[in-house]
Amino acid sequence: MINLCLKKNTPFMKKNLLPLFFILIVFSFSSCTKIKREYYSLTSINLQMIENITPEDRSIYFHFYTIELYSCLNYLIRYDFSSDNGNLTINLRDVEKNDLCINGQGPATASMNLGKYDNGTYQINLTVAGETNTGALEVSDLGYVLHFQTLNKLNLIADTMFRIPENIFWGYVAYPKEASAGIANQVLDSLESHGASPHNLQHGYYGYFTIKENGEITLLDKSDANFSINFIYKQEDPDDNIKDVIRYFNNHHLNEVYIFVRTSKGLVFNSPMNI
């Protein structure tokens, strides 16, 4: 059995991945030994709801990931899935080891696009490694709520997800050193001078971000920089204003701040990663 371990996003992987696939193909034809798939038993899994947003529509995703961490970043959860008028039957079977390992510790994952849901209540039968969880998905104008009678090998990241309101955008300003904090705050001042105003949403989970009771914002998109400021603003048609602000700070403070923005229409704007 061939076991190739490559570091994620290394030049070797980018330049030599295609030849490696040809080598694997040649080897498979020249050997009488078939590659044996390896599977691991599921223990417990997390379920996270995400509202997928595009300029045309919105849909709901179920993202599953194991609590247990594995030695590769690209292990998958094998599953069966069916939907009958929005009523869901999901069977999470086991974890499949990937023959091409991306080095690093991480969970096995599976993501399911459930599509667009009208307001109503839909039944869920979710099995995790033979353990059944019976519940319902309640959909309203405000958001999505999961109700389960019991949780067997299942952990909910949040049982309630609020919908992303229209005409908002959110993100962060990242900076590498504390001395650049003033410039990072200038980004927020510039967004506000272009017509944006802080959006005081109800505390809770919104998929892409969470607002705590004290008003603190945590984002699904996290910065790797030493320092960052998270924000949520409301503004109609903010795209051109966001691009103007990013363009200005790209030209004048390229190595001092990095700006990342998502909008309620599903668009993403960001500056070059140079910090």
> Which CATH number characterizes residue 245's domain?
3.30.70
Q: Record the pTM.
A: 0.81
Please write the tens of the pLDDT for every residue from 165-212: 999 999 999 999 999 999 999 999 999 999 999 988 999 999 999 999
Residues 142 and 223 grouped into a single domain: no
In the block, residue with structure tokens 């990242």: 174
The bridge status of strand 143-148 relative to strand 160-162 is: antiparallel
Is 49 a domain residue? yes
Residues 105 and 136 grouped into a single domain: yes
Is 142 a domain residue? yes
Q: Answer whether 164's CB lies under 8 Å from 51's CB.
A: yes
- Band (pLDDT 50/70/90 cuts) for residue 228 is very high
Structural domain harbouring 101: 39-158
Residues 101 and 209 grouped into a single domain: no
Residues 109 and 210 grouped into a single domain: no
Is 243 a domain residue? yes
Please write the tens of the pLDDT for every residue from 24-83: 444 444 444 455 679 999 999 999 999 999 988 999 999 999 999 999 999 999 999 999
| Domain termination site, one of 124, 158, 192 | 158
Residues 172 and 238 grouped into a single domain: yes
Q: Positive or negative CA dihedral for 25, 27, 29, 35?
A: negative
- Band (pLDDT 50/70/90 cuts) for residue 94 is very high
Report d(CA 22, CA 32) in Å as an integer.
Answer: 17
Is 193 a domain residue? yes
- 3-state SS, residue 20: helix
Residues 124 and 202 grouped into a single domain: no
- Give the model's pLDDT for residue 273: 53
In the block, residue with structure tokens 């008003």: 215
Q: Which two tokens stand for residue 98?
A: 């990937």
Backbone φ and ψ of 31, nearest 5°: -120, 145
45, β-bridge pairs: 66, 154
For the segment 93-98, the average pLDDT, to the nearest whole number, is 93
Residues 71 and 150 grouped into a single domain: yes
Q: Could you tell me which residues come within 8 angstroms of residue 251 by beta carbon, excluding any fewer than 6 positions away?
A: none
Domain count, the chain: 2
Residues 259 and 173 grouped into a single domain: yes
Residues 177 and 224 grouped into a single domain: yes
Q: Answer whether 218's CB lies under 8 Å from 209's CB.
A: yes
Q: Determine the number of helices (DSSP H) and then strands (DSSP E) in the chain.
A: 3, 22
